[in-house]
Structure 1
Amino acid sequence: MDKSEKIKLGISIGDFNGIGIEIILKTFLDKRMLDFCTPIIFGSTKLITSYKKNTNINVLFNGIKQVDKAIQGKINIVNLWKEDIDVELGKPTKQSGKYAFLSLEAATEALNNGSIDVLVTAPINKDNIQSENFKFPGHTEYLESKIEGDSLMILMTNKIRIGLITGHIPVSKISENITPDLIKQKVAILYTALKQDFAIQKPKIAILGLNPHCGDHGVIGLEDDEIIKPTILEIQEEGKLVYGPYAADSFFGSENYKNFDAILAMYHDQGLAPFKTLSFGEGVNYTAGLAKIRTSPDHGTAYELAGKGQASINSFKEAVFSAIQIFRTREEYKSLTENTLKTTHQK
């Protein structure tokens, strides 16, 4: 893609009774955003018009029937449905879950077939979106089922990146899921992402321990000594700069995280609790490891803020910029590696 060409940025609306549509529209109130991308929202003009009336957000948009009809310099809305919908701001409903899925499904299909370049997803409610077509604990798992590749959830700002070895699983299942193969797989995904998506030539990765104090030599669990440490040594033998395990309770407070390009946490809250303490409302959730690029804000539906005009756009805006930057970096990486291969073969 030519650098002067605007990236086609797909957006799924999430749960429309939350703050998703509000932060989308408020982000593009700043017309300068249209200099960076062509936004394509998957929803309906009727719904967005209704939302505008409820929130007094005055933005102009272009209704289209197909993605390829999107116009640069405008906010485009793909009309996926024609019916009127009751908006009940602040209240999760079966209807808002149903249409959140329809938006996500259409946006994912467009991402897969190349109609859009990147996808930014507004927050869903993981309960009311469940149906025969969506039986997943979250966006990450759904997208992994639809897009080529193996996923890794990364929460990130310009100062910190935290990936998760296990994602949306119950705490009671964490230990049995921590295996050498899974650790190696997640390290490989993160290592590749740091190189191709963030242009870091020799990534340095920290891995957190599973148990308190990394097990204290087996006094508080054996997983760190018997599974995690030997696996890290094996990975180091491949020439990768991977270190650990580090005791999670002191790793962030001591600011040791600043010495690494990324961190791998063993489970969801081990990584996300410190991340959101350090960066809440400014961070981005990036699904690494897939053939296509998806980002989202680091927060949820925030029903308590819906319709009050108080929702911050910072995280969503960062998700937009991150998707654009990662797309550009990955394209450049592909170009450089392809040219290297051509030169090698010519010799």
Structure 2
Amino acid sequence: MMKKAENIIVGISIGDLNGIGSEVVLKTFEDARMLELCTPVIFANVKLLSFVKKSFPSASLLHGIDKLDQIVAGKINVLNLWKEGVDLNLGTNDPKAGEYAIKSFVAATKALKEGHVDVLVTAPINKYNIQSEEFKFPGHTDYLDQELEGNALMLMVQDNLRVGLLTDHIPINEVASHLTEELIIRKIQTVKQSLIQDFSINKPKIAVLGLNPHCGDGGVIGKEDDTILKPALKKIFDKGTLVFGPFAADGFFGSNQYEKFDAIIATYHDQGLIPFKTLSFGKGVNYTAGLNKIRTSPDHGTAYDIAGKGIADFNSFKEAVYLAIDIYHSRSQHTEISARPLKTKEKQL
């Protein structure tokens, strides 16, 4: 049975304390109507967030709790992960802030894994100051891939625009060597399954962008599109997946060709993220597809340059909360439909 809206518990990791994470989280739930959509639980410290609230007009009240069984619907719950005071150095790259960011993220992930929260929304971290002997991951996605079941894939979402990646945080000069038939098939199947269960699209159409300029121009500007991408896409298409390409990336978005597809898969990070962020107007969401749990995040970073000034735009974070809730509903409906027994027509006598 599906949960009532307000009973969907949204776990929130606080991100880098010296960035805009705390501000955009609190601004998102300043509107009381948000508490009719879900019950937020922020993994941080209530005194710290009360201090952050002073940097912008706020009438919301924070509800501090010490255990997850103390969550109250209709309140902005803050789980006190630490008791000590924290010295903020807003706008600075501080390893101490990284420690608290990871403490929040690891605890929120554990709560998600154990079912104490239904979805996870993560505020931005700094990939440099989070590194330690205990945490050696480039970012959120790699850790979630280890802790949760499935195969994580970064899927950027804004309304009907969805952009996934075959490779993500690797140097450009290593992209070609990472493209294999096995990787391409696995990533496309992950996107297809996500479109079906997370976005309720029964027969999704997927476009794949070529690696080289003009898809290699028949091998003149690189052979990977002809020798790796095309054979893999044909194999997937022949098995019933509506996948098309490779398409030359330079004119694909400018010509609005992307609007014909339910998702676009880029071969490397900037090929997909530059057009996505240009088109999403600050409302884009980073969704980790392919896992057995739901995690979203805003499409921006820590924004040290405006931290503590009270001027951070919270729209992307709010959209991340909306998307997490929408996917939760979509998955619940998909599970219910899949569990129903097939009805057969009785033979007429």
Specify if TM > 0.5. Answer: yes
Matched, 1:260 2:264: no
The aligned counterpart of 1:336 is: 337
The corresponding residue for 1:231 is: 232
In structure 2, distance between residues paired with 1:50 and 1:84? 11
Matches within 5 A, 1:13-24: 13-24=14-25
Hey, what's the Cα distance between the residues in 2 that align with 1:167 and 1:335?
A: 33
What does residue 201 of structure 1 align with?
Answer: 202
Displacement of 1:159 after TM fit?
A: 2.9
2:159 and 2:192 map into 1 onto residues whose CA distance is 17
Secondary structure of the 2:218 match is: coil
The residue number in structure 2 matching 1:63 is: 64
Query: Distance in 2 between the 1:24 and 1:343 partners?
Result: 50
Q: C-alpha deviations, 1:190-243, integer Å up to 9, x for none?
A: 000000000000000000000111011111111000000011100011111100
Q: Which amino acid in structure 2 is aligned with residue 21 of structure 1?
A: S
2:26 equivalent to 1:25: yes
Q: Does structure 2 conserve the Cα–Cα contact (< 8 Å) formed by 1:138 and 1:168?
A: no
Residue 185 of structure 2 aligns to a residue whose secondary structure is helix
RMSD: 1.4
**Residue deviations 1:52-107, cap 9 Å, x none?**
23445442111111112100000000001001000111112011100000000000
Stretch of structure 1 that moved more, 115-124 or 157-166: 157-166
TM-fit CA distance, 1:244: 0.0
Flag structure 2 segments of 5+ consecutive residues without an equivalent: none
In the TM superposition, residue 330 of structure 1 has moved relative to its aligned partner by: 0.3
**Inter-CA distance 55–96: structure 2 relative to 1 (3 Å threshold):** farther
* TM-score of the aligned structures, taking structure 2 as reference length: 0.96
Unaligned runs of 5+ residues in structure 1 are none
For 2:296 and 2:341, locate their aligned partners in 1 and report how far apart those are by CA, in whole Å: 29
2-side partners of 1:225 and 1:335: how far apart? Answer: 42
- Is the deviation greater in 130-139 or in 224-233? 130-139
Looking at structure 2, the residues matched to 301 and 264 of structure 1 have their Cα atoms a distance apart, in angstroms, of: 26
Indicate if the aligned counterparts of 2:197 and 2:334 stay in contact, CA closer than 8 A: yes
> Are 1:51 and 1:87, in contact at CA under 8 Å, matched by a contact in 2?
no
1:8 aligns with: 9
| Structure 1 CA distance for aligned equivalents of residues 342 and 165 of structure 2 | 32
* Partners of 2:6 and 2:36 within 8 A in 1: no
**Does structure 2 conserve the Cα–Cα contact (< 8 Å) formed by 1:52 and 1:58?**
no
SS at the partner of 1:31?
Answer: coil
Residue number in structure 2 paired with 1:177 = 178
Residue 3 of structure 1 deviates from its aligned partner by: 3.3
Q: Is the 8 A contact 2:207 2:243 kept in 1?
A: yes
Q: Which amino acid letter does the alignment assign opposite residue 307 of structure 1?
A: G
> C-alpha distance in 1, partners of 2:232/2:302?
38
Figure out how many residues of one structure are paired with residues of the other and give that number: 344
> Within 5 A, what are the aligned runs for 1:291-310?
291-310=292-311
1:91-102 correspondence runs (5 A): 91-102=92-103
- Name the counterpart of 1:250: 251
- In structure 1, the partner of 2:136 is 135
Whole-angstrom distance in 1 between the partners of 2:225 and 2:179? 10
Q: Distance in 1 between matches of 2:17 and 2:59?
A: 17
TM-score (norm 1): 0.97
The SS at the match of 2:340 is helix
What is the deviation of 1:47? Answer: 1.4
* Contact 2:6–2:35 under 8 Å retained in 1: no
Q: What does 1:121-132 align with in structure 2 at a 5 Å threshold?
A: 121-132=122-133
AA paired with 1:25? L
Q: CA–CA distance in 2 between the matches of 1:194 and 1:255?
A: 20
Q: Is the CA contact 2:285–2:320 (under 8 Å) kept in the aligned structure 1?
A: yes
Q: Does the C-alpha gap of structure 1 residues 334 and 139 become closer, same or farther in structure 2, counting only changes over 3 Å?
A: same
Conserved? CA contact 2:111–2:117, under 8 Å:
yes
Residues 162-212 of structure 1: CA deviation (Å, up to 9, x unaligned): 001111111121110000100000000000000000000000000000011
Provide the secondary structure at the position in 1 that maps to 2:255: coil
Taking a change above 3 Å as real, the CA distance of residues 5 and 85 of structure 1, as seen in their structure-2 partners, is closer
Which stretch has the larger CA shift, 176-185 or 129-138? 129-138
Q: How far apart are 1:338 and its partner, in Å?
A: 0.9
Q: Given the alignment of the two structures, is residue 107 of structure 1 paired with residue 105 of structure 2, yes or no?
A: no
Cα distance in 2 for residues equivalent to 1:104 and 1:6: 22
Q: Report SS of the residue matched to 2:219.
A: coil
| One-letter amino acid of the structure 2 residue matched with residue 316 of structure 1 | F
**Residues 165 and 182, structure 1, Cα contact 8 Å, conserved in 2:** yes
> What do the CA deviations read for 1:282-340 (whole angstroms, capped 9, x no partner)?
10000000000000001000111111111111100000000000000001000100114
Q: Distance in 1 between matches of 2:128 and 2:37?
A: 34
Look up the SS of the partner of 1:330 in the other structure. helix
Contact 1:8–1:39 (CA<8 Å) still a contact in 2? Answer: yes
For 2:289, give the aligned amino acid.
Answer: A
**Aligned residue in 2 for 1:167:** 168
Q: Is the 8 A contact 2:41 2:79 kept in 1?
A: yes
SS at match of 1:172: helix
Q: Report if aligned partners of 1:280, 1:298 keep a CA contact under 8 Å in 2.
A: no
Identity level (%): 58
